[in-house]
A and B are shown apart, each in its own frame.
Chain A
Amino acid sequence: MKPVLVSYMNRIAIVCVVLLLGVGPSAFGKEVWTVSKLLNQIANHKGFIYNYTETKYMSFFQDPMQSKGILVFRNPDFLQKQVTHPSYDNFKIIGDKLIISRQDKPKREVLLSNYPELLALAESLRATLSGKQDTLKKYYSVKLRGSRSSWQLTLTPTDIDLVEIIEFVEIRGKNEFLQQVTIKEVGGDKSVLKLLVDIENQKQQKQQKPSRKKPVEGKKNHSALLNALQYGLVAHLPLALSR
C-alpha cells in the first residue's frame, strides 16, 4: 500500500513540477504578455533618450554605412533624431511636421500629413514609443513574439502607400526598452538602428527642453512631384467664368 501511495504522491508531485516548470509559466505568459501589455508598459514612461548606432545596407553603398547619434522621444508626439556622426544633422518630428536643421543650411519643414506613407513610417517608431496601439494598427498588422525580457514586434504595412516602399519594420526590446529597429524596404535594402538607453543624457535632457522654434519655409519631398503633376494639370482653371 505504502509504496503505492508514495508513488501516487510522487506522480502528483511530478505533475505539479512539470506544470510549474513548463506548461504553467508558458500558459501564464501567453495570457498576459500581449501587444497591449507591452505598449502600456512602454507608455508608462514620459520619454526615452537612446544612444543609437544605425547601419544602412543599401545596394548603392560600397559598404554598409554607419552613423551615430541620439534618439529622443517625449510623450505623446515628439521624436528627435540627432545625428552626431558622420555629420551633424537634426531631425525633429512634432505632430505631423518634420523639421530638418543642419549647421550650415536653413531650417526646412515638411508636412508629413501631405505624405501619408512617410507619416505611417514615422508612426512605426513614434506610436510604439507612445504606446498608441490604435495608431499602429491603422497602418500595420502587428505581431508580437518572445517574452517580456526579450520581445520582438513585427509591423507589416497595411497602408496602401506604405506597402509600396516598406516590407516590414521589426522592433526588438527588453521590458519597456527598445534595443533594435530594423526597417526592411521593398527591393532588399534595409537599415538597422541599435538603441542603448543613455541614462546620463536622459538627466541632461530633462533639464533643457528641446527647442520648439517656429518652423521656416516649407520643403518639398519627392512625392511633391506627383502632387505637382496632378496639380499642374488643373493649375489654371479658366478665367472664362469671369468673362
Chain B
Amino acid sequence: MIALRYWYLAGWLLILLLAAIWIAGSLQVNSDLSQFLPQDNSLHNRLLKKAIGSSPTTGTLMLSLQGSSPTVLAKVNKRLAAKLRARAKQEHTLIEEVLNGELKFSQKHKAFVLRYHWLLNPNLSEQTFTTAHMRQKMSDLLQAMQSPVPLYDKSTVTVDPLASIKELVSSWFDQARPGRYRGVWFSQDKSLSLIFVQSKSSGVNINASQALIKTIQSDFEKIQTEFPDVKLVMSGVGYYAVVIRDKIRSDITRLSIAAGLFVCFLLFYVYRGFAPMLFGIMPLLTAIIAGTIAVMLVFGQIFGITMAFGITLIGVTIDYPIHFFTHIHKSSTPKKAIVGIWPTLRLGVLTTIVGFTAMLLAGFEGLKQLAVFAIIGLLAAALVTRWLLPIVISETQKFNMPAHLLRFSNRSIQLLGKTPWLVALVSLITLAWIISQDNLTDYDVKKLTPLTASQKQTDRRLRDIIGTTNTRHVIVINANNVEQALQRSEALTAQLNLLVNDKVIGGYDMAARYLPSLKTQGQRLALIPQRAELEARFKMALQGLPFRYQSFSGFIDSLEAVKQQPLLDYQSALRSPLQWKVETLLHQHETGWMALVLLRRVKDYPALLSWGSKQHVDGMKLLDLRQESTDAMATYVNEAIRLLAWGTVIILTILLIGLRSIKDTLRVVLPIAAALILTIGFWLLSGVKLNMFHLISLLLVVGIGLDYVLFFIRKTSSEDHRLDFLAVWICNITTVVVFGLLFFSFPLVLQAVGGTVAVGALAAFIASASVAEKVNGEKSES
C-alpha cells in the first residue's frame, strides 16, 4: 500500500515535470496587449484596427536626443544617423530607413517627382500655361536669383521653371513639420533633435523591436562616450511594446515569488510540516500546467497577460487542499475527510466554472484564453484534490493545526454571525448610494494603457513636434474600388480646406493628396497645350527677359513626355516613394476599399460634427476613434452583462438542485450580492469608475463567495463545522493577501483585478460568515 502511494506520487510529479518541460520547449508567449481589447463586430472598426495596426508606421521608432546644446545634439544626430544608415545597407538588417532631415535626396525620389509632378500638382489650372502666368513665374525666378543665397533649385530649374515641383511639395503639407537646425530635425525650442528609424518589421513584432532597440542603444552608447551629456529617449509603438512586456515580466516574477513564499509559509505554519506544504501546492501546480497546456492546444499560443492573470485566478485552487487538510484529524482519515467535504467543494467548483464559462463567450481573444485557462485549471485542481491527494497522503500524516487558530477563527466567525442585520444595513445603504451615482462605468480604453505618465508625455511631445497629435478623428470613405475611393476623397477636399481656413481643424491627410484619382490626373493632362502652342506661348513669355529660350527645352519636353507616359495608378504608386502614404491611407477589404482621411488638431469638435452631418459624399463616415473604442467596449460589456445574467440563472439552478431548498439558496445568494455591492461601493468611493476588468473580476468574487458560503451553511456536525470555519478563514487570508499583492502591480488591468478580488473576497467572507450555521461553541464539544 505504501509502495503504491509512492508510485502515484512519483507518477504525478513525473507527469507534471514532463508537461512543464514540454511547455517550456514550445511556449509561444504573445505580449500583444491589444488582443485583450474587444474585437469589434462592425466592419468599420475591424478595418480601422487592421489599417492602423498593420500600418508600416507602427515599425517606426522615434529617437530624440536631448540634454546638450543644439550644436552638439546636431552633431550626435548626424553621427548616429550615419551609423544606422550604414547598418541599413548591411544584409539581414532590421533597419529599412533612417530619416533625420538631412538632405539626402535619393535618385529614385528625384526621378519620380520629375516624372509625375505635372499630374500630381494640385495647383495646375487653365492659368498655368498662359503666357501671362508663365511670364510672371519667370520674373519671379529672376528675382529669386538676386538673393545672396540661391532660392531656387538649380538642378531642376531648366526642366521646371514654373516651380511646379515646389508647389507640389508645399501641397503635401498643411501643417508644421519638424524644424531643422544644422540640417537635422529639431523641436521648435531646439532642445530635442529627432531621428526616425523605420524598421522592416511591424512594431507589434516585439522580438524584432527589441533587437532594433538594442542595436540603436549600442550605437548610441559608442557616440555617447564622447558626448556624455547627450541623452537618448525613444518612443514609438515598438518601443513601448518592449517596455511594457519587460515591465509585465518583471512584475509577474516578483509577484509570483512573493505570493508563492506567502502561501508556502502559511501552509507550513497552519499544518506544521513540509509534507502538507508540498501537497498543498501540488493541485495549484497541476492547475497551472493543465491550464497552460489547454490554452496552447486550443489557441496555439498564450498571451503573457493570460498567464499572469490566469495564474492569479486559479490561485484560489489553493483553497481546495486547505479545506481538505483542515478536516483531517484523529477521527477522520484523509479519505473520510475528502468524502465529507466533496459535495460542498464540488458545488462550489461547478458554480465557479459556470461563472468562467460566461467569459468563454467574450469577444476578446484574451478573455477566451483566460476562461479556458481558468476552467481547465479549476477542474484539474478539483479532480486531483478529490482523487489523487487522498491516495498520496499517508493515512498517518499528521496535520497539527495550532489550537489557538481554531479558537480564533471560530470566535471571529461567531462574532460576525451575530451581525447579519448590520451587513444587510451597510449593503443596503451602499446600494442606495451606488444607485444615486450617475456614472458607474468608464470604458475609455485609453485609460488602460499601461504606460507611465512620463512615457505618455514623451510620446505626446514627440508627436506634437511632428504634428500628429489628435489623430483620434477620422473620416472613413468606403468605395468599390481605388478610383472611386480617391474620387470620393477628392470631392471632400474643397470642404476640408474650408474647415482648415475656419480653424475647425488644423489639417488633414488623405491618400488622394498624394495619389490623385485617374480622373483628376486626366483632367490635368488635358490642361497641357499642344507642343507648338506651348512653345509659342513660352517664347512670348520670355520676351524682354534675359533667359535663353533654348535652355528650357527640357521643360517643353517634360510636358510632352507626360502626355506619352501612363498616368500614375495605384500599382505604380506602391512602387514609388509615395508607397507608405498610399498604403496607410488606402485599404482593401473583402467588399471593397476604404480610404482614411486623418483629421489633425481638431479644435472645434461640435463644428466638425455639424459639418459632417451636412456632407453627402457616398460611403463617408466621420468617426471619433476614441469614442468608437469606448462605445465598442460599452457594447461589449453590455453583452458580457447579458451573458452574466444567464450565468447567474444557471448558477441559481445548480444551487437549487444542489441544496434542494429555496431558503438555503437565498442564504447563499444574499451574502454574495452584499459582497458585490460592497466591492463596487469600494471602487466608487475611492474615485475609480468601473471598467470591464473590474466587472470580470466580480465574477471571481462570486466564485469565491460561493465557496465560502456553501461551507458556512452546509449541514454537518459541529466538529466539522468548526473546521470549516477555520478552512474558510485560511482560504480568505490567502486570497486577500495574494490578490492584494496584485493590486500593487504595474498594469492597470491587473491592479483592477487584484483590488476587486481582494476587497471582494474580504466582503464575501464577512457577509457569508454573518449567515453561517450557528455552532454551539465550546458547549457542543459533547
A positions within 8 Å CB-CB of B: 54, 56, 58-63, 65, 67, 79, 81, 83, 87, 89, 91, 93, 98, 100, 102, 110-119, 121-122, 125, 161, 165, 185, 187, 189, 220-243
Contact = CB atoms under 8 A, between A and B. Distances in A.
A48 to B, nearest CB: 14
B514 to A, nearest CB: 8
B281 interface: no
Given A116-B183, A242-B472, A243-B625, A233 B151 contact: no
Given A234-B198, A236-B584, A237-B466, A222 B153 contact: yes
Given A62-B547, A237-B236, A242-B626, A225 B165 contact: yes
B150 A165 contact: yes
Contacts of B148: 79, 81, 91, 93, 98, 121-122, 125
Contact of A56 (B145, B449, B584, B629): B145
A187 to B, nearest CB: 8
B179 A234 contact: no
Contacts of B146: 54, 67, 81, 83, 87, 89, 91
B546 interface: yes
A232 B147 contact: no
Kindly name the residue among B58, B152, B154, B198 whose own CB sees the greatest number of chain A CB atoms within 10 A.
B154
Contacts of A224: 166, 169-170
Contacts of A65: 142, 145, 546
Q: Tell me what chain A mostly uses at the interface: helix, strand, loop, or mixed.
A: mixed
Contacts of A242: 446, 449, 471-472, 625-626
Contact of B149 (A61, A114, A118, A241): A118
Contacts of B182: 113, 116
B467 to A, nearest CB: 7
Interface in B429-467: 445-446, 449, 459, 463, 466-467
A187 B155 CA distance: 10
B327 to A, nearest CB: 51
A46 to B, nearest CB: 20
Contact of B52 (A59, A79, A185, A240): A240
B157 interface: yes
Nearest to B168: A225
Given A60-B547, A233-B577, A118 B97 contact: no
B724 interface: no
Interface in B169-191: 169-170, 172-173, 177-183
23 contacts: A62-B548, A67-B146, A81-B148, A87-B143, A89-B147, A113-B182, A115-B183, A118-B150, A122-B149, A161-B103, A187-B154, A221-B151, A222-B165, A225-B165, A228-B172, A233-B99, A233-B577, A235-B468, A236-B471, A239-B472, A240-B237, A241-B449, A243-B37
B718 interface: no
Nearest to B190: A113
B568 to A, nearest CB: 15
Contact of B103 (A67, A83, A102, A226): A226
Interface in B569-618: 577-578, 580-581, 584, 598
Contact of A113 (B49, B109, B151, B181): B181
A228 B198 contact: no
Interface in B16-67: 34, 37, 49, 52-53, 55, 57-58, 60, 62
Nearest to A91: B147
B765 interface: no
A229 B116 CA distance: 14
Contacts of A228: 169-170, 172-173, 177
Contact of B463 (A93, A237, A243): A237
Nearest to B445: A243
B103 A227 contact: yes
Given A234-B60, A234-B466, A238-B55, 10 more contacts: A111-B180, A165-B154, A225-B105, A229-B577, A232-B172, A234-B57, A235-B466, A237-B236, A239-B472, A242-B625
